[in-house]
Amino acid sequence: MSIDTFAELTQTRPLPDWNGSHVCAFAFYHGLVEILVPNNLKSGVHKHCFYGPIVNRTYQEMAMY
């Protein structure tokens, strides 16, 4: 069984780079996953909550697309 790894470097971590890297990863794997679990990068997470992070609206829209 072969497991492919995707990695992408960006100079900064603002929201456009964060979303763009996810789009590139989805293209690399020829599809999406059922559940996305972002890390706590400030570009992707709007607010931390006891029950789970509140995701940035733009990141949420990209994930739902």
**Domain boundaries along the sequence of the chain:** 36-65
Per DSSP, 54 falls in state: E
pLDDT, residue 28, reads 92
- What is the structure's pLDDT at 1? 64
- Name residue 22's amino acid: H
Global pTM value: 0.71
pLDDT for the residue 47:
81
What dihedral do alpha carbons 57, 58, 59, 64 form, nearest 10°?
90
Structure tokens at 41: 């990068």
pLDDT tens for residues 2-57? 778 888 998 887 888 888 988 998 899 888 778 877 776 777 787 877 887 788 88
d(CA 61, CA 15): 12
Phi/psi region, residue 52 (left: phi>0; alpha: psi -120 to 50; beta: rest), is left
